[in-house]
Amino acid sequence: MIKENLSNIYKELPSDVKLVAVSKFHPASAIVEAYQAGQRIFGENRPQEMEKKVKELSMPGPDGTVACPDIEWHFIGHLQTNKLKMVLPYASLVQSVDSLHLLQEINKWGKDNGKVIDVLIEMHIAGEDTKQGFFEEEALEIFFCADKYKNVRFRGLMGMASHVDDEELICADFTRIGEFFDYVRDVFPEELPAFDQLSIGMSGDWPIAVRAGSTMVRIGTAIFGEREY
């Protein structure tokens, strides 16, 4: 089923848009199945769960080989600063930097550990007050001071649309962040040379996100089925 689901998505997804398979709440065996079907990027949103899966899937089997040698992990959930050591050693991209304090602590961890962390700034584009992230003016303040963060590489933006059935509203949310993404790239070409990723779109709305300029979609249920809590 996972292989078939991935095949169907690959057929529709433009070749220049990356697919992040959201594997949270699903067992490592499901990740291996998706990996064997060709998927390489996986997204997790709980530090303990991610660390456990990383270690489980990096252990050599009886024949001495690793099941998923070139797997790429993205952290996509709210990250508490006291959990950085569970995520930053393994994540190739932290998609969900949603506060200045978190950004500062990631930069500090990178400095202390001799590592540059790739991040996306999470934008508050949806109508709900519960959504986390930065407003445009707050993000711009960070980008104007990008040189302060020597151990962070700003790769782009991440966001979620309003949780509604109204496709026009969803499209408006994605268009807003897409236009801001283009604006930032135009204004900071030298300060943000690696700023090339717009992570918007999930299982229910990713085609709309792609039309709005998404370079990366995060799909879980449409690949793995309903979550096992």
Which residues does 121 contact at the CB level (< 8 Å), separation at least 6?
97, 103, 133, 134, 139, 142, 154, 156, 157, 158
Kindly tell me if the per-residue pLDDT of 131 is higher than 70.
no
- For domain 2-61+70-224, the question of CATH label 3.30.565.10 is answered with no
**Model confidence, pTM:** 0.94
Residue 40 main-chain phi, psi, to 5 deg: -125, -25
Q: Tokens 């199945």 label which residue? A: 33
Arithmetic mean of pLDDT, 204-208: 96
CA distance 209 to 170: 8
DSSP label at residue 82: G
Cα separation, 10 vs 219, whole angstroms: 12
Closest-CA residue to 204 (of 228, 170, 156): 170
What's the mean pLDDT in 127-147?
88
pLDDT in tens, 36-89: 999 999 999 999 999 999 999 988 888 888 889 999 999 999 999 999 999 999
Report in angstroms the alpha-carbon separations of 151 from 79, 85, 212.
Answer: 17, 15, 30
Distance CA 35, CA 29 (A): 10
Residue located via tokens 């979620």: 160
Taking the domains of the chain in order of start, what are their residue ranges?
Answer: 2-61+70-224
Tens of pLDDT, residues 3-34: 999 999 999 999 999 999 999 999 999 999 99
DSSP string, 130-174: T--SB-HHHHHHHHHTGGG-TTEEEEEEE----SSS-HHHHHHHH
Give the pLDDT band of residue 229 (cuts 50, 70, 90): very low
